């Protein structure tokens, strides 16, 4: 799988860029743009999370909190303190990274899935703080009037402009993730994925790498959160609850763990399906559940990897018949 992706990666990035540029030519509906934008935002979080789940083999149930920290740092700094837009986003990203380091450092030194518990608790604490620190966050009424992002004279104040903004971020962050995975760090991560003991015995500081990838993955979520805050211009604690953490983990698994393009498809398909299933009225949740079951039963490696494997199987069968 990895081999295929590496060979065809550049081609895929080319196609992605083309699709991003071409979509506005064919799509006019604001609704489709907001769906695409939400897909983009989710993809950023999922790509980051997939680095952690797919390569460090650790699960985080607190990514809603990192996503939320990004949103709230951007929101609070720009609304309450008149901070300039982009530096606020950068501060949010660095601060979220620092927080992730504080959680990751002790829990990733331990063997086993202790990060799950730490992030689970952390996510709930942050969600409660969003509601309680009223003088900063606006409490449960939410924080309103967040200004849209701007470069020079260009203000990203509608769905189309935000589409270009968000998807540029997705493109470059995916590119960065790909380059990271193909570097020395990436090889170390791959070694950890293969066998942690083997990697350790060969001199790879596994704990250190795991912490680093966790911090990076939190930063991805934070950037996505900042973009969300400036796009919707209103944030409230209910957007960052435990359900969102679960949702992004599901996207990683459905897309395919350890597959960069799987992240894009996982976020895309699940966001799209949950919208499209509204045709089923109040039964859409059941339909969504059935869809998830089908994917996990028939394509347990995730959609992208699973379908590719099916394709391979078919090819070999044809060869055998011949």
Partner 1 sequence: MNRRLLTLVVMVIAVSFMVGSSLCYSAEPIKIAGIFALTGRAAHIGTAQKDAVLLAIDETNQQGGINGRMLEMVMADTESNPTKAVMALKKILESQDVVAIIGPTLTGTAMAMRGFIEKEKIPTFMHSGGDVILKAPLDKKNPNSMPKWTFKSPYKAADAMGKICQYMNQHGIKKIGFIYSNEGFGKDGVRNVKVQAPKYGVEIVAQEAFQPKDIDMTAQLTRINAKGVDAIIAWTVGPAMGIIAKNIKQLGIKAPLFECHGAGDPIFWKVAGESGEGVMMPSTKIVVADQLPDSDIQKKMILDYVKAYRAKFNREPGTMVAYGADAAFITVNAIKKVGPDRAKIRDAIENTTGYVGISGIYNISPQDHNGLSMDDIVMIKATKGGWKLLD
In the bound state with partner 1, the residue whose beta carbon lies nearer, of 200 and 236, is: 236
Residue 181 interacting with partner 1 (CB under 8 A): no
Is residue 186 a contact residue for partner 1 (CB under 8 A)? Answer: no
Cβ 69 vs Cβ 99: under 8 Å: yes
**Cα(59)–Cα(53) distance, integer angstroms:** 5
**Closest distance of CB 280 from partner 1, Å:** 11
Tell me, letter by letter, the H, E, C secondary structure of 186-253.
HHHHHHHHHCHHHHHHCCCCHHHHHHHHHHHHHHHHHHHHHHHHHHHCEECHHHHCHHHHHHHHHHHH
Site of tokens 């394709």: 311
Q: Quick one: which segment of 12-20, 62-70, 175-183, 227-235 binds partner 1 (CB under 8 A)? A: 227-235
Q: Is 201 in the site for partner 1 (CB under 8 A)?
A: no
Query: Is residue 31 involved in binding partner 1 (CB under 8 A)?
Result: yes
- Best CA proximity match to 78, nearest among 150, 157, 163: 150
Question: Which residue bears the tokens 């500081």?
Answer: 205
> How does DSSP classify residue 113?
S
Determine, following the binding rule CB under 8 A, whether residue 284 of this chain makes contact with partner 1: yes
Q: H helices within 27-158, ranges in order? A: 30-50, 63-81, 85-109, 114-132, 134-137
| DSSP type of residue 152 | T
Q: How far apart are CA 261 and CA 293, in angstroms?
A: 21
Q: Kindly report the CA angle at 268 between 297 and 98, in degrees rounded to 5?
A: 100
Tell me if 100 sits within 8 A of 62, measured CB to CB. no
Given 14, 145, 194, 300, the residue binding partner 1 (CB under 8 A): 145
Q: Is 29 in the site for partner 1 (CB under 8 A)?
A: yes
Residue with Cβ nearer partner 1 (75 or 97): 75
Among 43, 74, 222, 239, contact with partner 1 (rule: CB under 8 A)? 239
Verify binding: residue 232, partner 1, rule CB under 8 A.
yes
Compare residues 278 and 314 and give the one whose CB is closer to partner 1: 278
- Nearest CA-CA partner of 49 in 200, 218, 185, 227: 218
The answer to the question of residue 208 lying near partner 1 (CB under 8 A) is: no
Pairing mode, strands 150-151 and 154-155? antiparallel
Residue with tokens 């986003």: 89
Provide, rounded to whole angstroms, the least separation between the CB of residue 237 and partner 1. Answer: 8
The one among 12, 16, 17, 34 contacting partner 1 by CB under 8 A? 34
Indicate whether 155 belongs to the interface with partner 1 (CB under 8 A). no
> Are residues 247 and 296 in contact, defined by beta-carbon separation less than 8 angstroms?
no
Q: 61-80: which residues touch partner 1 (CB under 8 A)? A: 79
| Residue 233 contacts partner 1 per CB under 8 A | yes
35 contributes a contact to partner 1 by CB under 8 A? yes
Complex with partner 1: residue 50 or 247, whichever CB lies closer: 247
Shortest approach of partner 1 to residue 5 CB, angstroms? Answer: 28
Closer CB to partner 1, 84 or 145, in the complex: 145
Nearer to partner 1, 34 or 116 (CB): 34
Please report how close the Cβ of residue 183 comes to partner 1 at its closest, in angstroms.
35
Q: Which residues bind partner 1 (CB under 8 A)?
A: 29-31, 33-35, 38, 79, 131, 134, 139-142, 144-145, 159, 228, 232-236, 238-239, 275, 278, 281-282, 284-285
């Amino acid at each position: 799988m990895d081999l295929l992706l590496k060979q065809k990666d550049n081609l895929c990035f080319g196609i992605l860029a083309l699709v991003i540029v071409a979509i506005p030519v064919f799509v006019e509906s604001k609704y489709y743009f907001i769906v695409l934008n939400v897909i983009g935002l989710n993809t950023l979080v999922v790509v980051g999370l997939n680095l952690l789940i797919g390569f460090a083999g650790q699960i985080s149930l607190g990514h809603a909190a990192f996503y939320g920290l990004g949103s709230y740092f951007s929101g609070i700094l720009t609304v309450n303190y008149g901070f300039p837009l982009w530096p606020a986003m950068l501060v949010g990203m660095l601060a979220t990274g620092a927080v992730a380091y504080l959680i990751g450092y002790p829990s990733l030194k331990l063997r086993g899935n202790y990060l799950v518990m730490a992030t689970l608790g952390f996510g709930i604490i942050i969600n409660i703080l969003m509601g309680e620190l009223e003088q900063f966050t606006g409490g449960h009424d939410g924080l309103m009037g967040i200004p849209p992002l701007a470069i020079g004279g260009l203000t990203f104040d509608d769905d189309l402009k935000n589409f270009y903004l968000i998807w540029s971020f997705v493109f470059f962050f995916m590119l960065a993730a790909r380059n990271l995975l193909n570097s020395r760090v990436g090889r170390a991560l791959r070694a950890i994925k293969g066998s942690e003991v083997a990697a350790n015995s060969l001199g790879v500081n596994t704990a250190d790498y795991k912490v680093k990838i966790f911090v990076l993955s939190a930063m991805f979520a934070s950037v996505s959160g900042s973009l969300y805050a400036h796009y919707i211009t209103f944030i409230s604690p209910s957007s960052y609850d435990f359900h969102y953490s679960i949702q992004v983990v599901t996207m990683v698994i459905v897309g395919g763990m350890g597959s960069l393009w799987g992240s894009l498809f996982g976020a895309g398909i699940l966001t799209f399906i949950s919208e499209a299933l509204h045709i089923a009225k109040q039964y859409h949740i059941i339909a969504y559940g059935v869809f998830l079951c089908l994917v996990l039963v028939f394509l347990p490696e995730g959609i992208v990897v699973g379908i590719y494997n099916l394709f391979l199987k078919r090819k070999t069968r044809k060869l055998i018949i011949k």
